[in-house]
Structure 1
Amino acid sequence: MDVTADTRLGGELFGGYSAYVTAKGDGRTVRTALAVEREEEAYDVTLKFVDRPGQHPVHLTTLSRDERNGTQFADMSTGDTVTFRVPKGPYILDSLSVKDPNSTEGGVDWLVHPVLNVDRDQTVTLDLNRTRSADITVPDREAKPLQAMVFYEHKGTQVANYVVMPTFSDIRVAHVGPEMPSHLAQVWSGQWTTGKRAEYNTLDGGEVKRITGRLVHHYRAREFATVKAGLGASTPGKTGVLALSATLPLINGIHTPLPQKLPTTRT
């Protein structure tokens, strides 16, 4: 016998519906379970990766609904293609390709598509050969990079993501899709150490139309404000840190406090 399920009666309710069919005859009863999935309007988004020659990275990919506390779909694979099936709507696509998800060796190729409107089946090509890193330096050539962060946020919905690596050259970035007319911000935050008691901290960025990795900023000494702080303790044998917080319109930076024996100074 044929069984037909009419899911239109579900109205706005989506998900799984279950039932059973009972057949009786010759004193016997046979019950057969059945189920049907009522899917809301959804489409396939297929991602095609173009790796750098001779490399086979791990692709860490997310499709985040472009809304506050929106649903996120994620995948990790080494394949050339990945397909997401997601409900209709606007999404932000993030793809990070790394040699080893548990290591910073080799850096990261980061491709961002803000905003991807999913209203049909579609294919997006993610070419890792297009990514570029920022060229950001400080005046002291002896200063050693400690950490670098690249961050973006879609201000309209507060959907954001960031990558932290030892240096800016480890973070290679590219924009995918058309430029954004407004409400997109990008940040570059860096920290360098020089000697045991001094460091440089930089914060650059603002509103952009495209996510980019091509920022060039060779900081000069006159662009810095020098702050020398004294750190003490009420008892001997203590260590302490100086924590900094950097905030500009639209953007924030990061800072890693470094332990020092007290009393001391930090510049």
Structure 2
Amino acid sequence: MAKRRNVSKIVVACAWVSCTFKSQSMEELSEHMSLHLKEHLGEGDAMEELEDYPCLWRGCEFLAMGSQSELIAHAHFHIFHSKLKYIGTQLLESHPELPSCTQDLHSNSLVPDVSEGFVCQWQHCDSSFNNPEWFYHHVDMHAHCTELQPLPDRQQALFCSWSDCDAFFKIKYRLREHLRSHTQERLVACPTCGCMFSSNTKFFDHIQRQAEPEDSLTCGHCDKAFANERLLRDHVRQH
């Protein structure tokens, strides 16, 4: 499972219209994006009420229909997505034996629907965010501050307090990992096609699936061939 990387070692570039700004700081990049948005949308009394708000990120054709807040959350996700693609680039550079992604480049700048923004559903917390980076850090702090609670068998566990969830774990790492299933946080993205993944392993699987299959690694049920044994095992389990 991928762990959080040291953000100070990540260089992310802004791709808003003709901007060439780069930074190692996600805080600085978020402030930079906020300036673009203020210029694009206007500020205070200067804000125009429009029917739709176009995203000016290069390669993105998104229109926020009548909602400035939707465009703001969408634009900040571009910065986060660029960070994940940079992480993916680093991983591929450290594994030169891996093949290249051959999927459609058109989706490289597409980001998921964030029209609802980012709302924390931890018990007694109703915090909301328009920036995924700050939302994921906020939820991570809930896990960090969670204390062990007694179980009926006299053991102790860390309980997930997300809405309608009764999961519990022995160690905080597992709780943090579990919370990503609620927040849909992803840790790495393919720099070629832009697809996001919850772990390095799933990212590597994405790359390996595009490699030439080995004749010796063939499914005994359907004769489909795979590039490595793990992909074959995962496939056989589906049968």
Greater Rg over alpha carbons, structure: 1
What range is the shorter-chain TM-score in? under 0.3
Structure (1 or 2) with the greater strand fraction: 1
Q: Which has the higher contact order (CA 8 A, sep 6+)?
A: 2
Structure (1 or 2) with the greater helix fraction: 2
